[in-house]
Each structure stands twice: as structure tokens, then as C-alpha cells.
Structure 1
Amino acid sequence: MTGYLVKLRAYSKKDLDKTLEYINDLEVRKYINPGIVFPFRYEDEEKWYESINPDNGGKYTFAIEKIEDNKYIGGCGINEIDWKNSVATVGIFIGKPFWNKGYGTEAMKLLVNFVFNEMNINKVKLSVFSFNKRAIRSYEKIGFKVEGVLREEIFRDGIYHDEIIMGILRKEWV
């Protein structure tokens, strides 16, 4: 899947070192799901890589690569699919050097387009922490709407924060 700034492709083993570097960056960690072990070790990364390998029944997980120089900058994918109700839960992370350049917005657009048009899913949803204003603006720009708030769900930097659930329906996708 290719856009103007980025393309989504399968992960390769050569992406693992950079993934480890990006995910272990404290600033990036602040925005990532608390279920991911920290510090993330290379052994954890190898297990994760094997689990997403299509040959092992892997999920829909994509590396994000800049078109300009073919540089790996992050990842996105479908974390969960509810086939019965036609709902996909998605997620994304971008390495800090690539923030505020439109890469994440375009990668998420490509992912959402794939979910709606290739998988025939009715709804895409995600969760974002209330302090991640940049991501919230990006998701709203794509067409996601706030569907609910889990109050004081996450504890970061000595403060409780809300987790915002956002979604977009296929009929809202332009």
C-alpha cells in the first residue's frame, strides 16, 4: 500500500533493531499501550517478529517506510478483528525523529483504506491517551470520531489520564 509520503509493507528482520530503538525511546513509550513490556529486549522483538510472520498465521501488521529514501520509520496494524460484528481495532507507532511530518496520518489513512476496501470491515476503532493531542488531531483529520472516554484509565508521569476510544464507519470513509 503506497501513499505520497509512506508505504506500508511487510516487516523484515532488518527492521528489528530500529523497532527496538523506537519503542524503547522514553518519549515514544509514553504514548504506547502499557501492555508492552519495558524495556523491550531483542529477544522479545524476535518473538514478536515470529508471531507476525505470515508463514506462522501472523496478523495484519505493517512496517511504515518513507518513500523518499525507503527508510523504516515505524509500524501499524490491526490488533484485533471481530469478524462477527465487522469491527477492526488498529494501532500505530512512529519513531520520534519522524513525528510532525504527516507520516503517521498518511500511514493510518492507508491502513484504514485497506481495512474498509480489502477486508470489507464496517468499523475501525482505536484508543488514544488524552494527552496525545497530536495523534487525536491526526485521527480526527482522517475522520475518526470520539465514541467514549475511559476516565483516568492510564497513569503516566504521576498523573491519571483518560483513554479516548475513537471510531470511523465505512459509510463515513471518503
Structure 2
Amino acid sequence: MTGTDAVITLERLNHSHVPGITALYHEPVVARQTLQMPFPSSETWQKRVETDNERVVQLVALHQGTVIGSITLEQFPRIRRSHAGSFGMGVASQWQGKGVGSKLLAAVLDIADNWMILRRVELSVYADNEAAISLYRKFGFETEGLFRDYAVRDGVYVDTLSMARLRRMPKCD
């Protein structure tokens, strides 16, 4: 069972997910679309789990107990930027295009909007990652700029887009 028929649950990242999230980012297709180095150690993820910071929300998507995606939303710590945050995400290759990214993004944007009261959510995405760009646009993100030769991927410099979603804050009566 895959895609819309599959039962996908979201949980806050915890110690029991470390082997699964390590395996997720060991996938070459997943790792090449992030700014992380390939083959992260489980110790790297263990340290991220141990981070106790209410400005950081780390979620995993699970199918039958297996980690199939993750997203991290971080509110910026500086006072003058505390109205903003950024996120990064990854979805297992066999689950891409099946709604996992939408489910993860909807969850963190709900937290950003209704719990952290973020006005601005930012991201960087490789300029050739059309599927991700389409997903972000679906959620109201707009391109703000192009960073040329921003990162190295597969031995060559690649461009990224800076995207953000701004939301109007409700007025209090």
C-alpha cells in the first residue's frame, strides 16, 4: 500500500527513530537534495534528538513504523528575527510524490502559524528540484532570490532558490 491509500502518521522525532532517520538520509536520492553530507552517522542524529529547544520542531513521517520522511522547523533565536523561521525536509525516494511532504509541511506550518506565531517561514531549495519547488508554491511560498553556485552537489556547483511564505497577522479587537 502506498500513496493516498497508505496510513502515514507523524510523530515528534525521538530516540527510537534514530536508526530510521539515519537510514533515510543514507539514501543517495534524499541526501543529494539536502545540504547535509552523505552517510550521516547515527550519533549525529542522536545529538539532534537530544537538543531540548522549544524553538526547534522535528517531526518524522512513519508508515508501519518505518521512517519515510522528516522535517525540522527552527524559529530564529535572535530577538529581531524571532518572527521568522526556516525548515528543511526529506522524503524517502519511494514515497516522493505521494503526499508525505505535503503532510509534513502542513503540520509544521500549523505549528508555525498557531503556536509559534511566525510571520515568515523561509527555505532554500536547489533550483533544479522542480517537485519540491512545486510543493512549496502549493503552500504559498514565493521565490525571493537565486543564489548562484551556492553549494556543491555531485562534484559541481549548483544554484539554490531562496523562498519564503509571509502571512498576514490577524488583528486583535
Deviations 1:57-76 (A, max 9, x none): 3622112234xx45432211
Could you list the runs of 5+ residues in structure 2 that have no partner in the other structure? 1-5
Distance change in 2, residues 1:115/1:87 (3 Å): same
- Which position in structure 2 is the counterpart of 1:13? 15
- Which position in structure 2 is the counterpart of 1:92? 89
Correspondence list, 1:145-156, <5 A: 145-156=142-153
Determine helix, strand or coil for the equivalent of 1:160: strand
* Residue 111 (structure 1) shift: 1.0
Deviations 1:86-138 (A, max 9, x none): 11111111122211101102211221121012111111111101121110011
Letter in 2 for 1:128: V
**Please, which of 70, 77, 100 is the counterpart of residue 72 of structure 2?**
77
Contact 1:105 1:138 in 2 (8 A): yes
- Which position in structure 1 is the counterpart of 2:3? none
1:118 aligns with 2:115: yes
* Residue 6 (structure 1) shift: 4.3
Contact 1:87 1:125 in 2 (8 A): yes
Determine helix, strand or coil for the equivalent of 2:110: helix
RMSD: 2.2
How many residue pairs are counted as aligned between the two chains?
A: 161
TM-score normalised by structure 1 residue count: 0.81
Q: Percent identity?
A: 22
Separation of aligned partners in 2, 1:158 and 1:37: 13
TM-score normalised by structure 2 residue count: 0.82
Letter in 2 for 1:28: V
- Which position in structure 2 is the counterpart of 1:141? 138
Could you list the runs of 5+ residues in structure 1 that have no partner in the other structure? none
